[in-house]
Amino acid sequence: MTPTDSTSTEPTPNDSTPNEAGAGASATVIELTDVRKTYRSGLFKVAALRGVGLSIEEGEYVAITGPSGSGKSTLMHILGCLDVPTSGLYRLAGEDVGGMSEDQLAEVRNRRIGFVFQQFNLLPSMTAWRNVELPLCYAGGPRAQRRQRAIDALADVGLADRVEHRPAELSDGQQQRVAVARALVTNPSLILTDGPTGNLDSASTADVLGLFRRLHDVGRTIVLITHEAEVAAAADRVLQVRDGVVTADSGPAAALRTVRT
């Protein structure tokens, strides 16, 4: 699904990564202009984001890092349309998110974004494939097809043999892989993840990071939030956030270095 106008190069995600088409032709997935977020709790005001501007192209693999309390999660909520900025402009796949209604935001989250959370957030009463099917349920479509897509997504993350397992019957690493399958099942423009490895041991961390690398290789846009430097190093581009502003950016050029083998 092309999120931008049809004049840009038609991406063909199955054969080639869109970023091979060159920086000039690739579409902008995320565009933030002077985004601010101020929390008001009683008498206190907390400026969590104080003017963030950034731009992420389709097919990029970006890590956002910074110390605790620097505003990473706040940024992720705004990027994921889970929260709206106090001021500033956010364009997701070319569309201004600011003026959207609750229902439209729900649809944007459903179609454009796949979330992977630190706490997995799987529904314990449902089997793996039913968890993965969930976003498809909100999108609609025939049941048989939804089931097939969910099973395919599970196969993509290497869990073809765990389709009927419930979260409690899976290891932490496997649960996070189910969560990744759920994030990519709708073919979103963007995969957003906040501390996906925070609850995992080193083996599972490597596992999940390998998964993101593979997804990136087939052309997915990934934004990974972490305060661990080793995890951030897995991405092609690293953004530093400090006190609500972006203080360092290794630059989009990093994305261009990526060469698939």
Ligand X SMILES: Nc1ncnc2c1ncn2[C@@H]1O[C@H](COP(=O)(O)OP(=O)(O)OP(=O)(O)O)[C@@H](O)[C@H]1O
**Please, how many CA atoms are within 13 Å of residue 230, restricted to the half-sphere of its CB?**
6
Give the bridge partners for 91, in sequence order. 31, 96
- By C-beta, is 68 or 101 nearer to ligand X? 68
Which residue has 């996070």 as its token pair? 176
* Secondary structure tally for the chain: helices H, strands E: 8, 10
DSSP conformational letter for 199:
T
> What x-and-dash track marks residues 47-86 binding Mg ion by CB under 5 A?
--------------------------x-------------
Does residue 73 touch ligand X according to CB under 6 A? yes
Question: Could you tell me which stretch among 69-77, 96-104, 171-179, 210-218 binds ligand X (CB under 6 A)?
Answer: 69-77
Does residue 80 touch other proteins according to CB under 8 A? yes
Which residue has 């490597």 as its token pair? 206
Sheet holding 113-116, edge to edge: 113-116, 190-194, 222-226, 61-65, 237-242, 245-249
Does residue 203 touch other proteins according to CB under 8 A? no
Partner from ligand X, other proteins, Mg ion, none contacting 39, C-beta within 5 to 8 A by type:
ligand X
Residues in contact with other proteins by CB under 8 A are 77, 80, 82-83, 102-103, 106-107, 109-111, 115, 117, 119, 121, 123, 125-126, 134-135, 137-140, 182, 186
